[in-house]
């Protein structure tokens, strides 16, 4: 559903958290209230710091409702979250059709294209987005942009097989122009970040002008030998929820 953003009133009565965390909770709770239906049995759970609030709200739906459901994770973090919340864990190879997947995003544009992969999970996230009948994004207000590349993201996350990373870095230069792509390093530069699939991640800054055609850029990068998945999701989401500082939620 693409259209004019609308503002909703917060479902949140618990005022214990503040600031950005509150914004994330607002978005997540509202999205769960609007999109997790009693008849839904298979639910995809994304990754990142907003998704725990999705699970928090789902748990509040009650053990009886959730007993009949299976939850599919997008990676190690969401698997832990599902299990530690007492929800039933499943895998996408057992359940390749998902009723609804809820996931975070790094930026979402006015047409619901988005950049994902801040947590290096975008390959599995894209599989679960594609498997879902309904794919919903949840984020704080910083992620709500007109065009991709106009906020603070460090670039397009690109998962690559380790053997090919240097060549992909070189070839990205031809597609994206001057900005220099870099291999994502673990904290304290202990070595490259390794994904749940055993691959590396490149962050590729881009000129926002180039990104006005996100599908074209995504497809060009995906064609590079050694690229496994690109953190640009085009026309996959049905709606995006952003928690605002004033306690409202913007839906687009
Ligand atoms: C992980 C992702 C996350 O969903 C994205 O980075 C948003 O995370 P957060 O909710 O922490 O802002 O794509 O690969």
- Please, which pLDDT band fits residue 1 given cuts at 50, 70 and 90? very low
- Please, which pLDDT band fits residue 211 given cuts at 50, 70 and 90? confident
Q: Indicate if ligand 1 lies below 6 Å from the C-beta of 48.
A: yes
User: Pick the catalytic residue: 107, 125, 159, 229?
Assistant: 125
Give the dihedral of Cα atoms 197, 73, 105, 221; nearest 10 deg.
Answer: 30
pLDDT digits (tens, 9 = 90+) for 125-149: 999 999 999 999 999 999 999 999 8
- Residue of 44, 106, 127 with the most ligand 1 atoms within 8 Å of its CB, for mutation: 106
Distance 163 CA to ligand 1 centre (A): 26
Range list of H helices, the chain = 19-35, 51-60, 63-67, 76-84, 122-131, 165-176, 214-222
ipTM exceeds 0.85, yes or no: yes
What share of the chain in percent tops pLDDT 90?
A: 83
pLDDT digits (tens, 9 = 90+) for 141-194: 999 999 998 777 779 999 999 999 999 999 998 888 766 899 999 987 789 999
pTM score: 0.93
pLDDT digits (tens, 9 = 90+) for 44-66: 999 999 999 999 999 999 999 99
229 given a catalytic annotation: no
The three-class DSSP label of residue 22 is: helix
At a CB cut-off of 8 Å and minimum separation 6, what does 223 contact? none
Average pLDDT rounded to a whole number, residues 6-18: 65
What share of the chain in percent tops pLDDT 70?
A: 94
The whole-chain average pLDDT of the chain stands at: 93
Distance 51 CA to ligand 1 centre (A): 8
At a CB cut-off of 8 Å and minimum separation 6, what does 238 contact? 1, 112, 134, 135, 136
């Amino acid at each position: 559903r693409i259209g004019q953003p609308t503002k909703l009133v917060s479902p949140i009565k618990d005022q214990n958290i503040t600031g950005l965390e509150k914004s994330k909770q607002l978005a997540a709770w509202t999205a769960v209230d609007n999109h997790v239906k009693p008849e839904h049995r298979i639910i995809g759970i994304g990754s990142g710091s907003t998704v725990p609030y999705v699970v928090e709200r789902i748990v509040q739906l009650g053990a009886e409702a959730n007993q009949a459901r299976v939850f599919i994770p997008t990676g190690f973090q969401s698997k832990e979250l599902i299990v530690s919340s007492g929800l039933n864990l499943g895998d996408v190879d057992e359940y390749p059709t998902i009723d609804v997947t809820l996931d975070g995003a790094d930026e979402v544009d006015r047409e619901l294209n988005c950049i994902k992969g801040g947590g290096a999970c975008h390959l599995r996230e894209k599989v679960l987005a594609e498997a879902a009948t309904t794919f919903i994004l949840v984020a704080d207000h910083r992620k709500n942009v007109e065009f991709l590349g106009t906020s603070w993201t460090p670039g397009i996350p690109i998962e690559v097989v380790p053997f090919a990373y240097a060549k992909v870095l070189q070839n990205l230069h031809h597609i994206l122009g001057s900005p220099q792509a870099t291999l994502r390093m673990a904290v304290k530069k202990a070595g490259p970040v390794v994904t749940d699939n055993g691959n590396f991640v490149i962050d590729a800054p881009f000129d926002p002008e180039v990104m006005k055609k996100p599908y074209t850029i995504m497809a060009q990068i995906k064609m590079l030998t050694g690229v496994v998945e690109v953190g640009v999701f085009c026309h996959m989401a049905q709606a995006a929820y952003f928690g605002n500082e004033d306690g409202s939620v913007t839906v687009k």
